[in-house]
Amino acid sequence: MHVNYIDFTHFELPKPIYINMIRDPVERVISWFYYKRAPWTAVQMYKLTKKFRKPQWYKKGFEDCVVSGDLECRYEVDSKFQSSVVDHKRQTLFFCGHDPSCEPFNSNGALQMAMQHVENEYAVVGSWEDLNVTLEVLEHYIPRFFRGATQLYFDVENGMISTPMNVNPWKPSISAHIKELIRKNFTREYEFYNFCKQRLYKQYYALQNMKAFN
């Protein structure tokens, strides 16, 4: 489930332990583009809406979508939500929250609020590109829920690594040129991504230093 940050104290409720995961911003939007076109997603949506999209929508390729200037693949700075497009390009949005300033894409306001919430409210923000580091930090920072997580994940016979999940065979390889082309519009999304990774590694190195002195 995708949930934006909520300050529960505004509702006189106790704070939860906030954690989340980040992913390379460009790889993330490419993955989402093909995930929503995968057969299993189409079936899930049909169960909800009782209709399929037009065949050409499912056949649309990401590279052609970008080059043609298709509304779905425009990543314009400060752009707002389009009612006709399901939009997951803002990774900062999940950390920024529900304030109107969180909506404009790649905006400084959304970036600053997202970083502030990560720094002050999140126990751990892990990275899918740094899973080993993420699991170790989770184990030590939130042992109540994550003790033994690394061993559990990497167990050859019974671990999650033995059963790959979320693999999409319908997602083709995207050229470096296209990735670089859209990356230019994700500057603040990458600033946020790198901020979270830096924070994660600070937590990780703090653990290593503790081990060295014990």
Give catalytic residues, as residue numbers.
Answer: 2
> What's the residue count for the chain?
214
Give residue for tokens 């990401």: 62
Q: What is the DSSP letter of 85?
A: S
Sorted by sequence, the CB contacts under 8 Å of residue 16 that are 6+ apart come out as 8
Cα–Cα distance between 57 and 161 in angstroms, integer? 33
- Its sign, for the CA torsion 163, 164, 169, 170, is positive
Tokens 């050859």 belong to which residue?
Answer: 156
24 contacts: CB under 8 Å, gap ≥ 6: 129, 193
Q: Do residues 29 and 89 lie in contact, with contact meaning Cβ atoms separated by under 8 Å?
A: yes
- How many other β-carbons are positioned within 10 Å of the β-carbon of residue 22? 26
- Pairing state between β 18-22 and 122-127: parallel
From CA 69, how far away is CA 71, in angstroms rounded? 6
Cβ–Cβ < 8 Å for 90, 190: no
